[in-house]
Amino acid sequence: MAPTTRTAERLDRKTALVQAAYRAIAAEGFEGLRTRDVADEAGVNVATLHYYFPTKEQLIRGVVEYTMGRFRSTLESRAASSDQLRSHLHAVRRLIKNEPQLGIVMGELALRSARDPAIARIMEEANGAWHRTLRALLKRAAREGSVHPELEERWLGVNRSRPSN
């Protein structure tokens, strides 16, 4: 088998495992997440799951990255800052409406992060990246004059717990 074919198969397996875990969290909640069930749904054995994700924390990191990727997919890179910001926020709203499991999974992970420092770190990293993106869009839109400068300040004030860079 060619190396690129093996790489593609590995990526497919890893993606299948992450998506199976995502669906399990959406259906059963975080407490219902069982690696055996995830492996079964992805069509692999538990040893294969552990090859790709040696710990449950790493599997959760994969789920968070997949989930945040869904949010990133709504960003339009060619639009003006204010249009990009507006478009992104509308697209996020549509995404959550059209994919209710997205909100469920994020809610489950947020609840778990309140009790689990490892999950809290993963969520802080992911949320921090998204907040930095929104902050950059707001700053550019304020500089262009397409949003009121106070909007950026107020948003930053509400989100003080996030790093400012």
Structure tokens at 81: 């800052």
In order of their start, the domains of the chain are 3-158 (1.10.357.10)
Q: Going by C-beta distance under 8 Å and a sequence separation of 6 or more, which residues neighbour residue 141? A: 81, 82, 85, 147, 152
pLDDT digits (tens, 9 = 90+) for 106-134: 999 999 999 999 999 999 999 998 888 88
**What's the pLDDT band for 165 if we cut at 50, 70, 90?**
very low
pLDDT of residue 85: 79
Confidence check: pLDDT of 160 > 50: no
pLDDT digits (tens, 9 = 90+) for 30-45: 999 999 999 999 999 9
Among 125, 126, 141, 27, smallest CA distance to 85 is for 141
**Could you tell me the pTM of the whole model?**
0.80
DSSP conformation letters of 40-82: HHHTS-HHHHHHH-SSHHHHHHHHHHHHHHHHHTT--SSS-HH
